[in-house]
Amino acid sequence: MSNGAAAAVSSPRRRAPLPLVLAAGLVAAAAAVPIAYLVVRALSADEAGRALVSLDLTVELVVNTALLAVGVVAAALVVGVPLAWLVVRTDLPGRRLWGLAASLPLVIPSFVAALALLGALAPRGLLQQLLEPLGVEELPEVTGYWGALLALTLSTYPYVFLLAAAGLRGIDPSAEEAARSLGSGRAAVFFRVTLPALRPSLAAASLLVSLYVLSDFGAVSLMGYDTLTTGIYTRYEALLALDAAAILALVLVALAVVIVLLATRFGARGTIYRSTPGAGRQAEVVPLGRWRWPALAFCTSVLGLFLVLPLGVLVWWSVQADPITGRAGIAWDAALNSALAAGVSAAVGALVVLPAALLAWRYPSRIARFLERLTLSPSALPGIAVALALVFFGARVGGVVYQSLGLLIFAYVLRFMPYSLASTRASLDAVSPRLEEAARGLGRKPLGATVSVVLPLARTGILAGAALVFLSAVKELPATLLLRPIGFDTLATRIWEGTALGAYAQVAPSALLLVAIAAPLVYLLSWRNAWELGAAD
Amino acid sequence: MRKLTVAALAAVITALTVVAGAATAPEQTTSLTIYSGRDRVLVEPVLDRFEQETGIDVNVRYASSTALATALVEEGRNSPADVFWSTEPGTLGLVAARGLLKPLPQATMNKAPARFSTRSKRWVGTSARSRVLVYNTQLLEQSQLPRTIWGLTNSRWKGKIGIAPTNGSFQAFLGAAIHLHGEARMRTWLRGIRNNEPRTYPNNTTTVQAVARGDVAVGLVNHYYLYNVLADTPGLPIRNHWFQSGDPGSLVLAAGVGIVSSTKKHAAAQRFVEFLHSKWAQRFIARGPGAAEYPVVRGVPIRPGLRPLAQVKGPKYSLGRLSVDLPKAVRLLLEVGLLK
Amino acid sequence: MGCSMIRLEGVTKRFGTVTAVDEAHLCVDRGEIVALLGPSGCGKTTLLRLVAGFERPDGGAVEVAGRTCSGPGTWIAPEERRVGMVFQDYALFPHLTVAENVGFGVPRRERATRVAELLEIVGLTEQRRRYPHELSGGQQQRVALARALAPSPELVLLDEPWSNVDPFLRETLRAEVAEIFRPLGVTVVLVTHDREEAFSLADRIALMRNGTILQEGTPEELYFSPASRWAAEFVGAANVLSGPVVGGLVETPLGTFPANGSSTHADASVLVRPELLELEPDPAGPAEVVAREFRGHDVLYRVLLEGVELVSQRPSTEVVPLGSRVSIRLHNGRVPVVD
């Protein structure tokens, strides 16, 4: 492009086709439904409703939630960044395998993680039984804040790991080489060049992690740590306290907004990090030398705690009945339901974001940006808030809509389409608008050009988005509990019901099945990551 | 090619929508939808038998009684529910107060003693249960147990009490106690309990299990969960303790059922209510595997070894009051910080 | 000249506050090869995109092959214009093979034959099943050409087609392209900032600056009769000599030249191309060689004559040492007056 108007040419201010705007607008409007509901509901709260949300308690819950978010983000960074660096940048033995294993805990829903950790680390749990011969009679209890922190770190550090790994691969090695030539040692380069370059990835990952913590219900509830989500759930469960639940949900949304603003300020866009394609050379591989052993010890202990331990507990429970609750088989019907609901949601979730993504990519404008943000906004909403809104609307519409599988899928799509939008957008950004123009110049109509050229090129991002939606939907608990059709059990609800009855061993096979369903997708996602790495060099 | 792709996508979406719709399309004629606050294990065998006997399909939504009551109010006339089977009279009372339950025929009302139903005839008791203190027999002697709930605020119970503050029966007990002893006294009691750092559990079952494990020494629960847990694992060191006569900790509560006003299947719903009062159902409720509730229909024997209802001397309290007292209990729990 | 293929009438295009194309007028006749030449940011690529239909003009009319494509109340979408385009980065579809790329714009029933035909022309029959990333830069360009030509457009637009190719390859590719286009009789409009490229390929050149077309003409016209001092300097190295006009003649250190109607008493400037200045070693000569730049087949000399620095381009077979005195002889050629 030798043109002074280059910037303008690459983002031509052309009028977007009306159907595209309407479609994107419709999806964005759906995304705005939960917030609108919460506001209406909270405003209509009467004296009795407001009495159930005292200021002291709200402050306590906000502080609890924020403390947990900060703690989990810090822990996930401490675990995820070194792992990523070891896997991407060093000659760590078996680094590809470590990389795959490190992303695997992504498939363990936080409430299953909590369940397994509780079982393993209880004062007289499995770990204590293993250590009994060594004279360990009782372990300190891991519940409350530290328990929730541990369980949520397990479920979220893979986000940090994956984004940091992608970020590390995307860094242009010449910057680091320049720093070396200017006299900086390896450590100085890491802190002065590498880490700042990772800032956008880390900010994005921190955002994802803190939003996950904010909307988590299962882990905090099992660990007995009071947060805004448990507060909302308590009020939902309490008699006729939906107004109070809505008020707390709005507080939660406000907290999420604050976090998004903080993350944006810290230097991240609200979307998933995208490494520049074709970063050219790969950075040099750092020989670990004698440090190999501490590095391996680090990897082993992280994955021992976050992967082997929980899975081990589940396997142990599956083969060995609990003395108090006995054991049960695998819930195949629930597994089928989970796969069906998550599968349809993944397909729909990938499709409905296309208008907004295409609009933002091809016809950037204030409206396109607004619609994109609105469509991304449910990512800051806790599942229970989405569910409350849909219960309200569903009940008013009634009939075939309310308590239908359709409504549950609608909830999944609403909650998780931000993931597919971010992923689709990232891959669209890598598609040159020239390609679409080339297709137009060769006689294709706009829709034809999009279908035959743009979408095939963005397919990895679209598929990754669908996979993320599937992964999230198959683990989803709070909205599922409130919205599933009568008699429609998913693996998540079965596991949850079992834990409510203390029947951990009974639900362990179902939990393993859930992990097994989700695992191939994570493998695919990290394989894609590896493939992109391969394509880049 | 591109037209094909578009058409294929459209077809897939349509197909998925149809599948999703078909999977949940409600049948209008032969199926009954029940909102059950009672646990699946206690309900499923009864429903199976009902389906066999009547040929009526039953769909159940399991959740806590309070959540289901909230849902019924929220759904209003669009509710898919035909029958509300609750563990707890307060929830039934609140739903009835909003005109969402139909009056039952006198014959149905006559099946259960008046103390386990309402004068308004909107719901009728299906079983009775008593509040108790379950304790671990390896950790405690019966003689060490308090004779009233007031004894639990003694500091020697620090860290040894298990409660389920989100549970409807616990809240009902507290509601009754508020009515009987006044809000101020119960606030003091709850603060005393809170200062003893009780462990909280999601429900009765997990509380009893925790007592069996020895995580806590005593738990405030309904009496029959002990038998439920013992049925899975006989020989666990747990036993029920009744507080002294008239103590709110020995309150006798009822589970009850009502027919949802908006139902279009009144006859089937009525049959279901009648079935719950049948000898078979009452016997299952009283003596089925792991079950140990008190039947409400005369002539059905209780579980062997269970203290007869006549010997359970709870406080005098009209269960119809719970629709007023239950919300007070929830507010107090939130105020004291046992609910958050 | 005719306007049978393209007619631009006062076309204007703004991006925000920037006016990229400012009331441009241009005519291209059927079968011509026209180069849009200009520096970076002159609006030439935008002009090309206006013709292709990738941009909508804010004013004026675009006519392609006698059809008004954009103008007041008229708009024909790019896919309806039957204009082939070769993008700067080629914009090959990375998910399609060479054959699929070439066949993309061809109706299905003609596709196989047409693809074979074009691959034959560009000499890529053997690579038909490869993907774009498996091809060299030159091969990629040939695919891009073949793809643009496949739907048999009457007009092909090339946007800086050689900017991504290294200089050695450029000349070969240029020759290749000319060979491909000439026999097909296709009209070609080429955007470039490289004057050599424009000179070697184009029948006619439109020189652009600041969004307007300054001058149109054959390469020779542009080179020897530039419309302005800026144009003179943009299309080649130039000595611009100024002096008073006396009796219809401009007086300069190199002598007097016809003032072509410039009024007396005012100053005027004339353009002398460096290759017109011959240097002759002469110890008593009026000029001195102050710099010398060996460029292979020629040598550039900077000589100082009466305080004016002049550039002379001589074959490298002639050697004039640095610092020597020379006399300057003006070779026969055109010495136009410039603004």
AA identity, residue A406: G
Q: How far is CA B1 from the centre of its chain?
A: 60
Looking at residue A140, what DSSP letter applies? P
CATH node for C237-338? 2.40.50.140
Nearest to A231 by CA among C200, A488, A108, A220: A220
Quick one: angle between helices B322-336 and B183-195, nearest 10? 40
Cβ–Cβ contact A277 with C under 8 A: no
Q: Which residue of B has its CA nearest to A60?
A: B340
Q: What is the pLDDT along chain C (339 residues), one digit of tens a residue?
A: 588 999 999 999 998 888 999 999 999 999 999 999 999 889 999 999 999 988 889 999 999 999 999 988 888 888 888 899 998 888 888 888 999 999 998 999 999 999 999 999 889 999 999 998 889 888 998 999 999 999 999 999 999 888 777 777 778 888 888 888 888 889 999 999 988 889 988 999 999 999 999 999 999 999 988 988 899 999 988 898 888 888 888 888 888 888 876 666 678 888 899 988 989 898 888 999 999 999 888 999 999 998 889 999 999 888 888 888 999 988 877 788 887
| C-alpha to C-alpha distance for C43 and C26, rounded to whole angstroms | 13
Residue ranges of domains in chain C: 6-82+153-232, 237-338
Q: Which residue of A has its CA nearest to B66?
A: A239
Predicted confidence at residue C125, as pLDDT, reads 93
CATH node for B9-128+252-303? 3.40.190.10
Cβ–Cβ contact C105 with A under 8 A: yes
| C-alpha to C-alpha distance for A110 and A118, rounded to whole angstroms | 12
- Other Cβ atoms less than 10 A from the Cβ of C6: the count is 23
Phi/psi of residue C61, each to 5°?
-130, 145
Predicted confidence at residue B184, as pLDDT, reads 95
CB hemisphere CA count around C155 (13 angstroms) = 27
Cβ–Cβ contact A447 with C under 8 A: no
Say if residue A3's pLDDT is above 70: no
- Architecture label for domain A14-44+332-488: Orthogonal Bundle (1.10)
Residue ranges of domains in chain A: 14-44+332-488, 48-126+137-321
A442–C105 C-beta distance less than 8 A? yes
In tens, the pLDDT along B125-154 reads 999 999 999 999 999 999 999 999 999 999
- Check for a shared fold between A14-44+332-488 and A48-126+137-321: yes
Inter-chain contacts counted by CB atoms under 8 A, chains A and B: 149
β C325-330/B199-200 pair status: unpaired
Predicted confidence at residue C25, as pLDDT, reads 93
- Check for a shared fold between B9-128+252-303 and B129-251+322-336: yes
Say if residue A208's pLDDT is above 70: yes
Inter-chain contacts counted by CB atoms under 8 A, chains A and C: 110
A444–B205 C-beta distance less than 8 A? no
Looking at residue B147, what DSSP letter applies? S
| Portion of chain B with pLDDT greater than 70, in percent | 91
> What pairs with residue B134 in β-bridges?
B219, B240
Average pLDDT for residues B301-316, to the nearest whole number? 91
In tens, the pLDDT along B218-240 reads 999 999 999 988 887 788 999 99
Cβ–Cβ contact A437 with C under 8 A: yes
Nearest to A458 by CA among A416, A438, A429, A420: A429
Looking at residue B105, what DSSP letter applies? P
Nearest to A441 by CA among C56, C157, C7: C157
Asked whether B240 and B226 are in contact (CB, 8 A), the reply is yes
Cβ–Cβ contact A323 with C under 8 A: no
Check residues B50 and A496 and name the one with the higher pLDDT.
B50
Q: Helix H segments across chain C?
A: 44-52, 98-103, 108-122, 137-149, 167-184, 195-201, 219-224, 229-235
Rounded to a whole number, what is the largest CA-CA distance in chain C? 79
| 3-class DSSP state of C86 | strand
Residues in C closer than 8 angstroms to A13, CB to CB, are: 15-16
Question: Does domain C6-82+153-232 bear CATH number 3.40.640.10?
Answer: no
Cβ–Cβ contact A409 with B under 8 A: yes
Say if residue A98's pLDDT is above 60: yes
Cβ–Cβ contact A367 with B under 8 A: no
Question: Does domain B129-251+322-336 bear CATH number 3.30.1360.30?
Answer: no
The pLDDT confidence band at residue A325, using thresholds 50, 70 and 90, is: low
C40–A453 C-beta distance less than 8 A? no
Say if residue B200's pLDDT is above 80: yes
β C33-37/C204-209 pair status: parallel
Cβ–Cβ contact C134 with A under 8 A: no
Q: How far is CA A6 from CA A2, A434, C55, C116, in A?
A: 7, 13, 13, 36
C45–A2 C-beta distance less than 8 A? yes
For all residues of chain A together, what is the average pLDDT?
Answer: 81
Say if residue B185's pLDDT is above 90: yes
Say if residue B41's pLDDT is above 80: no
A340–B326 C-beta distance less than 8 A? no
Predicted confidence at residue A131, as pLDDT, reads 76
Say if residue B176's pLDDT is above 50: yes
Check residues A13 and B317 and name the one with the higher pLDDT.
B317
Asked whether A252 and B82 are in contact (CB, 8 A), the reply is no
Predicted confidence at residue A399, as pLDDT, reads 64
Tell me the shortest Cα–Cα distance from A487 to chain B, in angstroms: 6
Cβ–Cβ contact B221 with A under 8 A: no
When mean pLDDT is compared over A129-138, A347-356, B311-320, C77-86, the highest value belongs to: A347-356
Predicted confidence at residue A528, as pLDDT, reads 54
Asked whether A255 and A65 are in contact (CB, 8 A), the reply is yes
A437–C78 C-beta distance less than 8 A? yes
Q: Which residues numbered 45-104 in C keep a CB inside 8 Å of some CB on A? A: 45-46, 49, 52-56, 77-79, 81-85, 87-89, 91-95, 104
Q: Would you give the end-to-end CA distance of chain C in angstroms?
A: 26
* Candidates C87, C94, C104; nearest CB to A457: C94
Contacts of A314 by beta carbon, 8 Å cutoff, 6+ apart? A112, A116, A508, A511, A512, A515
AA identity, residue A526: S
Tokens representing C32 are 């011509």
Residues in A closer than 8 angstroms to C40, CB to CB, are: 2-4
Average pLDDT for residues A33-46, to the nearest whole number? 85
CB hemisphere CA count around A284 (13 angstroms) = 11
> What pairs with residue C209 in β-bridges?
C212
Quick one: angle between helices A504-536 and A491-500, nearest 10? 140
Say if residue A17's pLDDT is above 50: yes
The pLDDT confidence band at residue B23, using thresholds 50, 70 and 90, is: very low
Tell me the shortest Cα–Cα distance from A288 to chain B, in angstroms: 47
| C-alpha to C-alpha distance for C203 and C221, rounded to whole angstroms | 11
Predicted confidence at residue C98, as pLDDT, reads 95
Asked whether B285 and B127 are in contact (CB, 8 A), the reply is yes
Q: Which of C15, C21, C86 to mutate to test the interface with A (most CBs of A within 10 A)?
A: C15
Check residues A208 and A345 and name the one with the higher pLDDT.
A345
| C-alpha to C-alpha distance for A164 and C267, rounded to whole angstroms | 68
The pLDDT confidence band at residue B271, using thresholds 50, 70 and 90, is: very high
Say if residue A474's pLDDT is above 70: yes
A340–B331 C-beta distance less than 8 A? no
Cβ–Cβ contact B75 with A under 8 A: yes
Predicted confidence at residue A18, as pLDDT, reads 87
| C-alpha to C-alpha distance for A511 and A474, rounded to whole angstroms | 11
- Supply the DSSP string of A285-322, one letter for each residue: PBP-GGGHHHHHHHHHHHHIIIIIHHHHHHHHHHHS-B
AA identity, residue A500: A
Cβ–Cβ contact B97 with A under 8 A: no
CATH node for A48-126+137-321? 1.10.3720.10
Predicted confidence at residue A409, as pLDDT, reads 94
Q: Which residues numbered 237-276 in B keep a CB inside 8 Å of some CB on A? A: none
Residues in C closer than 8 angstroms to A445, CB to CB, are: 77, 79
Chains that touch A (3 or more CB pairs under 8 A): B, C
Predicted confidence at residue A422, as pLDDT, reads 83
B212–A406 C-beta distance less than 8 A? no
Quote ipTM for the complex.
0.78
Tokens representing B323 are 């629709």
Predicted confidence at residue A283, as pLDDT, reads 64
Nearest to A149 by CA among A81, A203, A69: A69
Asked whether A207 and A263 are in contact (CB, 8 A), the reply is yes
Tokens representing C212 are 């307007």
Say if residue B193's pLDDT is above 70: yes
Q: Which residues numbered 107-136 in A keep a CB inside 8 Å of some CB on B? A: 124
Chains that touch B (3 or more CB pairs under 8 A): A
Nearest to B200 by CA among A476, A384, A69, A234: A234
